[in-house]
Structure 1
């Protein structure tokens, strides 16, 4: 509970994270862990084989594959890209409305890699769907009515030492 309160106290919307990030090319990027409010588990990649690009919340939060940098870029409008520190790839989703979430090489021209947020900390796609952590540890994009308990679609950010 103490960690959760500290995390909630330090958590901000994705847009606030962008404002707080350094804007010079020489500054080191900030590193975050994203905790799912429902499960308390971290957003990350398959521990056994990160090359599978399977995004989930089922593994330990100390792993490098649960550390993310927030890349702001040319798209603007409060949208950002989430780059995994373990693989260097970005969180991606189908740009055709599918529910799958996966990793792919970062590209500012890929609309599936741009994420927005709504408070308290819901990561959303351009299509009004939410990044959702399910009870079985899987992660997908889901519309509000499919999420049910919105704590499954609530993520808190915890700044990590670099």
Structure 2
């Protein structure tokens, strides 16, 4: 079930753009995640008045993220929350069905934990164990990788501007 609390309307998005909201944490702020197939970055768009994760030009507002690490998972794996730098009260969130959305950041929400792997260039949803996938047309979802499914593995690879510490 999709969360609806704290989602911004188009008018609120416009107001936030005008105010130039600051990132929540400077240490690992300003990260971008570029999809290896689309060459677009994980960003935002307004769909039916709701701020939604979407692929966008890497120069677009809303394509920078702050990673707030919650744990090291061994090797190069890092677990934490992704906070949008343009709208720092909103975190990338998801459910077990693979729907990816934004909701107000909440450290006790397990749907907001993502595991980043620099070695594989993946963002895995910790709750569902599905990988963030960039689809044609700019949509994103969390999807399980089947063994043999054409270019799906490439759609699940993201080029990190840098690996969070």
**TM over 0.5, yes or no?**
yes
Report what 1:70 is aligned to. Answer: 67
* Helix, strand or coil at the partner of 2:41: coil
Report what 1:154 is aligned to. Answer: 157
Relative to structure 1, is the Cα distance of residues 98 and 34 closer, same or farther in structure 2, using a 3 angstrom cutoff?
same
* Cα deviation 1:98-146 (Å, max 9, x = unaligned): 1211111111111011011343211112232100000121000100118
- Which runs of no fewer than 5 residues in structure 2 stay unpaired? 1-24
Structure 1 CA distance, aligned partners of 2:138 and 2:33? 14
Structure 2 CA distance, aligned partners of 1:50 and 1:76? 37
* Helix, strand or coil at the partner of 2:67: strand
Give the alignment's Cα RMSD to 1 decimal: 2.4
Q: How far did residue 60 of structure 1 move?
A: 2.2
Report what 1:87 is aligned to. Answer: 87
Q: What TM-score comes out, normalization by structure 2 length? A: 0.69
Higher strand share: 2
Aligned match for 2:54, one of 53, 56, 61: 56
Q: State the structure with bigger RCO (CA 8 A, min sep 6), 1 or 2.
A: 1
Structure 1 CA distance, aligned partners of 2:135 and 2:64? 20
Report what 2:3 is aligned to. Answer: none
Structure 2 CA distance, aligned partners of 1:45 and 1:32? 14
Higher helix share: 1
Number of positions where the alignment pairs a residue of Structure 1 with one of Structure 2:
129
Alignment of 1:4-83 (within 5 A): 28-46=27-45, 52-57=50-55, 59-73=56-70, 77=73, 78-83=78-83
- Which runs of no fewer than 5 residues in structure 1 stay unpaired? 1-25
* Helix, strand or coil at the partner of 2:101: strand
